[in-house]
Amino acid sequence: MADKLVTNARDLTNSEYFYGHRACAGCGGSLALRLAMKVLGPRTFVAIPANCMSAVSFLHPQISFSTNSMISPFAATGAVLSGIEAGARALGMKDYHVVGFAGDGGTADIGIQALSGAIDRGDRIIYVCYDNEAYMNTGIQKSGLTPYGSSTTTSPAGRNLPGATRMKKNMFEIVAAHDIAYAATASIGYPEDYLRKISKAAQCASTSYIHVLAPCSTGWGFPIEKTVEMGKEAVDCGLWYLAEFENGEFRLNRKPREFSSLEDYLKKQARFRHLTDKDMDVIKGNRDRKWKKIQDQWTV
Amino acid sequence: MSKKIFVSGDEAVAEAVRLAKPHVISAYPITPQTVAVERISDFVEDGTLKAEYLHVESEHSAMSAAMGAAAVGARTFTATSSQGLLYMSEVLPYVSGARFPIVMMNANRTLATPWALLSDHRDSLSQLDSGWIQVYCEDAQETLDMILQAYRISEDPRVMAPMMVNLDGFVLTHTYEMVELPAQAEVDAFLPAYTTINRMDLDDPKTVCYAAMNDYMEFHMKQELDMRKVPSVIEEVDRLYGDKFGRYYDGMVEQYLCDDAEVVLVTLGSVTGTARVVVDAMRKEGHKVGLVKLRYMRPFPREEILDIASRVRAIGVLDKDISVGYEGIVFTNVNSTVADLETSPGRINFIGGLGGRNISKENTRGMFNELLELARGEKKEKIQFVNARCEYHG
Amino acid sequence: MDRPKVVKYTPPECVEDYPLGAFQAGHLVQKNAGWRVFRPVIDHDKCIGCLRCFLVCPDGVIDKSGEKLEIDYDFCKGCGVCAYECKVNAIRMVKEGEEADE
């Protein structure tokens, strides 16, 4: 159990609880799960809906979680977590965590109803959305968290469309609007910040939600060794942000003095390589509007 | 000491659930199941049922939450009906494949569209292939008894399969009857606390609901082989229950005056009550008619149906459902069993009660007459609609 | 090194022997080493023990329990995140089949 906050590699246990999985080399999602599991420890119940992480770690007889774990129905991560928690509570179990790891589609699209229900009940569960911005497991189709201009297999960029035509759903604030006890955004590009947030979620007596950006080299189209770097650049260029929602207040955790080059970040990825200057302007405009709101309304 | 109470079918379910003491209840309201989950929430509120009551946001989540709780070894209950059952249908084979003994009440109600809120069996019969045990009840007393038996059957280590207890919407859920309520101590003696190795365990971590790409077939062969043994467990539990509480239900199938019957009618659920009265009346008139109350649809009572079919000259199946493009679902099941006989009796499929259309004593007598005429060698239509408002031209 | 190990697994010989459901957690029967084209090699003289590689490895194959960092080559996929992220260039990616100290 995480009694004090884990914020660095030194405090992080050497033990691995998510190991020997078949994720692609350099998978950002698997790093997000691995680190969370190290913070949460051996007395953890894990539920994962259909996504890359369940597809690579529950291949009987090769089971990668050394803690209790199960695959949940795609739409029902929140409900399964609630059920586990209610069952464990009713049976008098003590000193454990219940965590779910759903992807962007599993959270913002098909799983949003069950997630909303779980937050509404306030069960002591941790819901982690690892966001790689498309349905990667099924072959890179557009999800509700696919950003504008991203070319996916169902939002192909072409002569008429720039790829996806909508901005990401604002899951963090949708979740916060439930008046959840604790919610945070994170990125595997800032692993220490992410560890701290998982630790805080572990100490939360009610429902908590962590939305972690988890770059996917296969789906985004960048060299596999740059997974963590891409997660960092997304934050540095202002397209993602590190924030928390606690006691009804939004707080920005990292305020870049100035943004790094948005164009550089985008052009490193095959999914954005087609973008025109006009598309760049759309993305920049959206980014700046978002940051204006953050500046005006959040504690920064 | 047991006592008599005057309750609706929904309330009988709630009383049975209180006696069974599940750890977790998850349910989403849908007419006509609602009174059951309302009463259960009353019991949780007043402390007479110590359970976690999860207010879920859908039937899909109701079943998923029950599964999460079952995955840590909790006894669970949920309830649904009609559209709600279909909304949770994704999770039904999920639960049965994972071998979690979840008990669910289903208030049989028809499916949209067109909308019609009354009872038929289209909802539950559409889920026959989900790996759930399915029992159909004739009255509130049987429903109460079957909820209690369901836990005992499902949780039996030889079974470990979920069970759906079906009762007809409104006809049973909303009508009042005198019901005998067993004493808690007696129920506790009949229904031991649930323990299983099929769960996640903090002291010896496990995975459940995993993928088995290479061995999927073997896992389901095991499920099927185990399900084949369930009829004997059902008979055993029925005897045990009867010995304890004085009510026997004849296990898989109740045969009413079938021993010397020339023709029999197969029914499911509450319509059996009407058919019983008609059989009594026709027997007095000298007709050798009998009634087969099909209690379980899964596992299917193959042996019993074969035995009955080998003795009669005509067998009618009353389906309160239709598999559009073919025939009644119960009929298909009965037929495939009867096909194993060298000489099979004549068969008619009566489709009635859709959307809650009444099936009267006269309608039932009409069905028996058709069967008697078929037995005498007259030609009959194989599939007949009962009590249709106007003619149809087949 | 303290990393999960592969165990010997014998598939059931008859259907009855399959588990009802619950199956042993953390049950590894195969390595992932075959995926690797380049393997990371730590230069311990350069390594300052900052644990950045340990932190960012998606597969958790870098073990910090000993005096020096160790890599579990049974499960390293050779993604190179560790080498890329190393602040002091103490990790080199070496093509499989080639010597590290050439």
B218-271 residue pLDDT tens: 999 999 999 999 999 999 999 999 999 999 999 999 999 999 999 999 999 999
Contact C23 B207 (CB under 8 A): yes
Q: Which of B213, B245, B277 is the last residue of a domain?
A: B245
Does B230 share its domain with B311? no
Shortest Cα–Cα distance, B103 to chain A (Å):
15
Task: Read off the tokens for A178.
Answer: 């439930």
* The predicted structure's pLDDT at residue C102: 44
Tokens matching residue A172:
């963090």
Cα–Cα–Cα angle for A120, A124, A128, rounded to 5 degrees: 85
In this prediction, residue A2 carries a pLDDT of: 44
Instruction: Pick from B204, B218, B224, B225 the residue to mutate for testing the C interface (most C CBs within 10 Å).
Output: B218
Domain boundaries, chain C: 32-95
A contacts of C23 (beta carbons < 8 Å): 60-61, 63
**CATH second-level architecture of A28-297?**
3-Layer(aba) Sandwich (3.40)
Same domain? B309 vs B168: no
> Domain span at residue B268?
254-385
Q: How many residues does chain C have?
A: 102
Domain C32-95 annotated CATH 1.10.287.80: no
Q: What predicted TM-score, i.e. pTM, was given to this entire model? A: 0.97
pLDDT at B272: 98
Contact B295, B135 (CB under 8 A): yes
Q: Answer yes or no: is B391 within a domain.
A: no
Q: How far is C4 from chain B (nearest CA, A)?
A: 15
- Cα separation, C62 vs C84, in Å, equals 14
Q: Which residues of B270-290 are buried (b: 16+ CB within 10 A; e: fewer)?
A: bbbebbbebbeebeeeebbbb
B234 and B286 belong to one structural domain: no
Q: In the complex, which subunits touch B with 3 or more CB pairs below 8 angstroms? A: A, C
- Separate counts of helices (H) and strands (E) for chain C: 2, 5
Above pLDDT 90, what percent of chain A? 98
pLDDT at B393 (0 to 100) = 77
> Do B159 and B95 share a structural domain?
yes
Residue type, C89: N
CATH number at residue B140: 3.40.50.970
- Ranges of residues in chain B whose predicted pLDDT is under 50: none
Give the separation between CA A207 and CA A194, rounded to whole angstroms.
17
Which amino acid appears at position A5 of this protein? L
Query: How many Cα atoms within 13 Å fall on the side-chain side of residue B285?
Result: 11
Q: Which of residues 195-254 of A touch C (CB under 8 A)?
A: 224-229
Say which of A42, A63, A116 has its CB closest to residue B57: A116
Q: Token digits for A215?
A: 């770059």
Are the C-beta atoms of A111 and A51 separated by less than 8 Å?
Answer: no
Q: Over the stretch B328-355, which tens digit does the pLDDT of each residue have?
A: 999 999 999 999 999 999 999 999 999 9
Weakly modelled stretches of chain A, pLDDT under 70: 1-3
Query: Which residues of chain C are under the pLDDT cut of 70?
Result: 100-102
Query: Measured between CA atoms, how close is A222 to chain C, in angstroms?
Result: 12
Is residue C34 less than 8 Å (CB to CB) from chain A? no
Q: Are residues B360 and B216 in the same domain?
A: no
Nearest beta carbon to residue A79 from set B23, B64, B207: B64
3-state secondary structure at position A250: strand
> Residue B5, by phi and psi: left (phi above 0), alpha (psi -120 to 50) or beta?
beta
Residue B390 lies in a domain: no
User: For the segment C20-34, what is each residue's pLDDT rounded down to a tens digit?
Assistant: 999 999 999 999 999
Q: Could you read off the pLDDT of B128-159 as tens digits, one per residue?
A: 999 999 999 999 999 999 999 999 999 999 99
Tokens of A16: 């691995």
Q: Which of residues 219-248 of B touch C (CB under 8 A)?
A: 219, 221-222, 225
Count of domains forming chain B: 2
Answer yes or no: is B113 within a domain.
Answer: yes
pLDDT score for B394: 64
Same domain? For B220 and B310 the reply is: no
Task: List chain A domain ranges.
Answer: 28-297
pLDDT of residue A3: 65
Tokens of residue B383, six digits: 């599939």
Neighbours of B126 (CB within 10 A): 16
Residue contact A83–B23, C-beta within 8 A: no
